[in-house]
A and B are shown apart, each in its own frame.
Chain A
Amino acid sequence: MKSNFLCSFSVTSLSSDAFDIDLYHESLALRKRTFVDEMRWPLATLDDMETDQYDTLFSHHITAKVDNLVVATLRLLPTTHNLFGSTYMILDAHRGRLPDMPASIMQQEIIDPATWEASRLAICKSVLPRDRNALLRELINYAMDFIRGQNGSGMLGLMNPVFIRIFNRLGFSVSQFGPVCHQSDGPICVIKYDF
């Protein structure tokens, strides 16, 4: 690996005793800058933050920092999540409950305390292309360690299918878990990580 990309990772949750409000704010702010300001996705915002129905007491927010600036964020939610009619993003989309997302995207429904969903992955555009794979690899490693700490052993994500090959080359055990759907941003599919 050529990249010498160095960053520090943290995780915070509204339900944690050590809840870090600044980190939580920076995570939602990077999502707003990335998805709303730059990509023009029609998402709900409040001031400089983007938020949705899956940012709950049960969600955990991982951030990667370089020189004290958040450069990437990822949200983790157990697939057992069910709050006020919302489960987790991939399952709600699969069931056709999210009008801006494709339906029938999962090979089968998963509701399992050992499997978590990774969503709202955003990376700051200041991260150079040559460093992005290294950053993503470390971000996923950190997420997997966190999930293992919760007695979990699997993770679902919704990404471009090209990442299946990339992640397997990077040493993860990753498989496609549903059909490829074509959207304006390109193809996406549910990816399942086993660890």
Chain B
Amino acid sequence: MIDSVSITDAPDPRTATMLELSVSDGPNAREILENTMKVTRRAALSRAIAIVGSSAAGSLLRPESARAADDPAAKARMQNFLGVSEILTGISQIRLSPQRDPIDIKTTYLTLVTNRRPVVFERLLQKYGESRAISPDPKMIGAKLLDPSEPKVCYLARSIMLMWYLGVWYEPEDLQLAESTGSSPNFSVISPAAYTQAWVWRVAQAHPMGYSEWHFGYWHEDPPFKLENAILPEGTP
């Protein structure tokens, strides 16, 4: 159970932990979130500003109409992708993929990753399956996926993490290069829907620039919900 969340700025936006979660007895996925969420609020906002400037031109995908639900193999593949995503983001699968999901951003993301990095992504899913067979502990699985001894898988995992949180795509090689050189990695906005669905906003109880689902006047009220109401399954105590 998350008791509180505070957002801190850090000297190095690429390596500092943004969210300081006060966790009493919650699932280990929350710890993964704490350990792997490597972006500051300031960095997120500055990226969002850049995204606004490039949103129209930055779209990488056409809408994907194929539905995984119609094909058992595709459905299993989607489930594995969501399992990986839950481990990496700390956000419940039911939140990443609601039972009724008209926006269906998960299909956009799965298609993108599959097309961009088919071989490494297969290896990532394989590692996820192997790790889960050994232990269901999300912390252990997360450590395996982010194991630096296999950098291609590690940085693809980080790209997936950033994709869910920021709605943008970072090439894994760019992330790796940025870490070693201190440069700013390039990114592309995945789609207009991805821009609005970036999880950083709900985690921060905020909204992307130029788009809000909240009612008029929300800006002079306290945030209307707790963090766990956004990232844990509905009804979680």
Binding partners A and B:
no
